Structure 1
Amino acid sequence: MVLKSGAHLGPYEILAPLGAGGMGEVYRARDSRLGREVAIKVLPESFSKDPDRLRRFEQEARAASQLNHPNIVTVHDFGTYEDAPYAVQELLEGETLGERLRTGALPASKAVECGIQVARGLAAAHEKGIVHRDLKPENLFLTSDDRVKIVDFGLAKLAAAEGPVAEQDGLPTATQATAAGIVMGTLGYLSPEQARGQTVDQRADIFALGAILYEMLSGVS
């Protein structure tokens, strides 16, 4: 689904496209209620054809919206537009770590600083039982004020047609993890058990962070 400038998703007015990928399109938008600019990720329409997947999206968006941490992108809202689900997030200015690494390795001090910020964000998410499952440089955003933000929490899980997940206080938990036999994530950052399609938990995110630290220091992916 491609939205034009001026289109409205409820109170949100689309201003301009920011990018697109396998998980949908991202737009700069204005929240008419609060007078602020936000980013809206509109997921593929195929999500609306799978009730379980749509339900998981709502669960993950609700869980992510409860993650109040400076190193995790803030999720403000979520809903559907013409049967396509969307998530409303804080608007970030800067570049992804993946874009930064195209010019080579980072200075050691910068790599360590980035790693510490990512680890803090992961710790906050894992404490609430939320696992990223697709941690990679493209999902780490370096803001213009030198803060690292983890983006797309939970969306990797939605990319596979898994069975229903259990709930604990309405939140997906790390122990329910990804169903065995399903591989998701990005090659190069997958833990061994994740690559084999086995059940994963927060340790998969820690493994991915180790791979990212190596890449930041060496410049080799």
Structure 2
Amino acid sequence: MATNSTVSLSMKFDRTSILGSGGYGVVFRGEWNNKIVAVKRIEKTNCENNKGEDALQKLHHPNVVKLYHVDSDIDFRYYALELCQLSLNQLFNGDEAQKNYQEKMPPEKEVCLQLAKGLAYIHEKGFIYWDIKPQNVFISVHPTDVENVSMKWADFGLGSPLNDRGSFSTTEHNTRPDNWLAPEILQMKENFNRTTPLRQEGTVKSDVFSAGLIFGFYLLKGRHPYGSQFNIPANIVNNTPVNLKAIEEKKHPMHAIIMDMLKKNPNDRISAADVITRIANIQ
């Protein structure tokens, strides 16, 4: 394993084995404490407040990716994280081997229930997830039981504690993808120049909306509930989930739940705990 010589603690990673990358860093296949892990490397300038680190260290749930260990050097922060097979985005948009995981997935009800349980747990612990998108939803297959598949939320940079108002504010630059934002966040962004920092404030109900998008995305086999790429933000703001008609026409039992998660007014949305109850009651 080609290790990074600047990391002198117990974490190692293979610089030639890149599992993924994004605006906040690169993920490598690595090793920690004789365990194969995913190593997330983030420039220190992007994690000065260690928001995601603080959140993940306090979260212990089967539907949340586990943070095992943290290292750092002069330039980077390194996170040893539970290794999963692929993301929800890769399930539909990845290579052929990744797409074949669709055959191993649990029933649709179970997929949504697991994700609802993970999100409710995050909220119960006083955190808002904030960066929900298919790239941050992971699929884990048990190494000795291929029928045991778990859905897990993963976020390595933006999860943050709620303030006294039960919300979360940030002045970060507008780097989050608009397609997975709640309408109240999109409307805030419309009032600011996209090249300047924006104070965005979201609540747990903003998370519920984004989770509803994830549920729809999964049930629609990789299509966004609000349409095609360029029309999605406008359709979200205008409350026009054009692709969800396909789920409604099939009389899918998740349709009514998703619609209650996607209410335009945050106060009208059900909570993550309500989502669990509703899904559990599906016959």
For Structure 1 versus Structure 2, the TM-score category normalised by the shorter chain is 0.7 to 0.9
For residue 196 of structure 1, give the secondary structure of its aligned residue in structure 2: helix
Structure 2 distance, partners of 1:200, 1:44, is 25
Q: Is contact 2:69-2:80 (8 Å) kept?
A: yes
1:188 to 174, 179, 183: 179
Segments of 5+ residues of structure 1 without an aligned counterpart are 48-52, 158-170
Paired amino acid for 1:151: A
Contact 1:188 / 1:211 at 8 angstroms: preserved in 2? no
**CA deviation vs aligned residue, 1:59-109 (integer Å, no higher than 9, x gap):** 4312211100000000112232223122221122x2211111236xx7997
* Contact 1:133/1:185 (<8 A) preserved: no
User: Does structure 1 residue 172 correspond to structure 2 residue 161?
Assistant: yes
| Higher relative helix content | 2
Q: Which amino acid aligns with 2:217?
A: E
Per-residue deviation, residues 131-190 of structure 1 (Å, max 9, x unmatched)? 11111111111112411011115x136xxxxxxxxxxxxx82252502479756322221
Contact 1:184 1:194 in 2 (8 A): no
1:183·1:195 contact (CA, 8 Å) conserved in 2? no
* 1:35 partnered with 2:26: no
Q: What is the total number of aligned residue pairs between the two structures?
A: 193
Q: Deviation of residue 125 (structure 1)?
A: 0.6
Distance (whole Å) between structure 1 residues aligned to residue 201 and residue 182 of structure 2: 11
Task: State the partner residue of 2:54.
Answer: 62
Q: CA contact under 8 A between 1:134 and 1:184: conserved in structure 2?
A: no
Bigger Cα Rg:
2
- Residue ranges of structure 2 left out of the alignment (5+ in a row): 94-98, 143-148, 189-199, 225-283
| Identity rate, percent | 26
1:85 aligned to which of 74, 77, 99:
77
CA distance 1:185–1:203, shift in 2 (3 Å)? farther
Q: Residue 208 in 1 paired to residue 210 in 2? A: yes
1:215 is paired with a residue whose SS is helix
Determine if contact 1:183/1:196 at 8 Å carries over to the other structure.
Answer: no
Partner of 2:11: 12
Alpha-carbon distance between aligned partners in 2 of 1:109 and 1:18, rounded to the nearest angstrom: 24
Could you say which residue in structure 2 is the equivalent of 1:168? Answer: none
Report Cα offsets for 1:16-39 as digits up to 9, x if no partner: 3322221111112222xx321221
Aligned residue number for residue 129 of structure 2:
132
Residues in 2 aligned to 1:183 and 1:203: alpha-carbon distance in whole angstroms: 20
Letter of the 2:212 counterpart: G
The change in CA–CA distance for 1:185 and 1:202 in structure 2 (over 3 A counts) is: farther
